[in-house]
Structure 1
Amino acid sequence: MDAPEPDTPFAAVSSQATRFGQIYQAYLDKSTPYVPYRWVGTGTVFVLFGLRIIFAQGWYIVAYSLGIYLLNLFLAFISPKFDPSLEQDEGMEEGSSGLPTKEEDEFRPFVRRLPEFKFWYAATRAIVIGFFCSWFEMFNLPVFWPVLVVYWFILVALTMRRQIQHMIKYRYVPFTVGKKRFSNAK
């Protein structure tokens, strides 16, 4: 395919789209260090979405789909990038373990499968899309919403139980409270 000529309308639209994409990316890059503010904004949009669903009395499938997607994002956020169960299986063949098992072993920090920024960005984008979908009648499918709520809570309980068992078995904690401090005990 030949590249479009600079005089065509397609080239002008393409250059404008590229320019807007660069501006959007620049704002995303500037927002990176402001973690609490980003999450407050996301929480605000989520509350607006919830209020929209409650007051409109509909779009339960949209809310349920959003809940499932956010659950999957959260599971990826608290999961290690390299699965210790797979590394342990491979390590048994090679004679080395993926996680430190003795005091002398090297410390390896927790590396997430889904980094915080990507988690925030995907969650915010999904909530905005869900909010947008809640304004169109074609997404308002008639369902008995209490069944969806109960099913979602069962799904959360089962998946979190499995994830917590995995954390206990392979001894990792996906959250750090702060920098570890050492005292000089003399």
Structure 2
Amino acid sequence: MEGSSGEAAAELPVANWRRDFSRAFQYYLDRSTPHPVGRWLGTLAAAVIYSLRVYYVQGFYIVSYGLGIYVLNLLIGFLSPKEDPELEVLDGASLPTKGSDEFRPFIRRLPEFKFWYSITKAFCIAFVMTFFSVFDVPVFWPILLCYWIVLFVLTMKRQILHMIKYKYVPFSIGKQRYTGKKSSSSTGSSKD
């Protein structure tokens, strides 16, 4: 009995530290939510630091290739609608395909915040992996780069054709505003 209470007392500070760290991390994550430009600049800084590390050590090309495939997968989720018209049975919850269909806003399969968080986490994990020589597998990196470019082009071609077929655009610039119908009397010339 005494041994088990001693182990519980030893685990208590670790559990408290983990809980406090988790709360602080979530607090700062929540505070960063309304600042997308700052978040993406931070991710860009992490990507530059990772790229400099890979360039400096001249290795870890397999890690970089895996990171590229993962980011491409996230990008596809970011550009895809939540409910894919090809997979869904038409139950009224799909994207409009004709001009007369009701407008439904584009809802992403992967929201912007989760997209940002996943990419940032991926760059941080890949950066940490560059400190372990077990991940530095010797490969001819131009082949990996060419293969990734071909994969990117084919995947984006398929995604763009999907966007054209189902007539959706995953980006919106500014807030949509209703302008109303213009009356014919205001557009005609006045006779005096």
Q: Distance in 2 between matches of 1:25 and 1:99?
A: 34
The letter of the residue matching 2:44 is G
Q: Does 1:118 align with 2:77?
A: no
Q: Quote the residue 1:166 is aligned against.
A: 162
Please, what TM-score do these two structures have when normalized by structure 1?
Answer: 0.88
Residue identity opposite 2:59 in structure 1: G
Deviates more, 1:109-118 or 1:173-182: 173-182
SS at match of 1:39: helix
Counterpart CA distance in 2 for 1:76 and 1:109 is 17
Distance 1:158 1:102, change over 3 A: closer
- Aligned residue for 1:107? 103
Structure 1 counterpart SS, 2:87: helix
3-state secondary structure, aligned to 2:94: coil
Regions of 4+ moved over 6 Å: none
Greater Cα shift, 160-169 or 98-107: 98-107
The reply to whether residue 145 of structure 1 matches residue 146 of structure 2 is: no
Structure 2: distance between partners of 1:101 and 1:181: 22
Q: What is the match of residue 134 of structure 1?
A: 130
Q: CA deviation at 1:178?
A: 1.4
In 1, Cα distance between equivalents of 2:101 and 2:168: 15
Residue in 2 that maps onto 1:12: 13
Partner deviation per Cα, 1:117-149 (whole Å, 9 max, x = no partner): 101001000001111111221111100000000
Contact persistence 1:5–1:11 (CA under 8 A): no
| Secondary structure of 2:86 counterpart | helix
Residue 44 of structure 1: aligned partner: 45
One-letter amino acid of the counterpart of residue 180, structure 1: Q
1:101 to 1:58, Cα distance in 2 relative to 1, 3 A? closer
Of the three residues 164, 171, 174, the one matched with 1:175 is 171
TM-score w.r.t. structure 2 length?
A: 0.85
Aligned residue-pair number: 178
Matching residue of 2:189: none
Q: Specify the structure having the higher radius of gyration (Cα).
A: 2
1:5 is displaced (CA, Å) by 5.6
Partner secondary structure for residue 86 of structure 1? coil
What do residues 55-98 of structure 1 show as CA deviations (whole Å, max 9, x unaligned)? 211110111110010010111011111001122xx22xx6x572
Identity over the aligned pairs, expressed in percent? 51
Gaps of 5+ in 1: none
The answer as to 2:66 corresponding to 1:65 is: yes
Give the AA of the match of 1:173.
V
Superposed CA RMSD = 2.0
Deviates more, 1:63-72 or 1:103-112: 103-112
**Match for residue 77 of structure 2?**
76
C-alpha deviation, 1:45, in angstroms: 0.8
Q: In 2, are the aligned partners of 1:76 and 1:112 still within 8 Å (CA)?
A: yes
Contact 2:95 2:168 in 1 (8 A): no
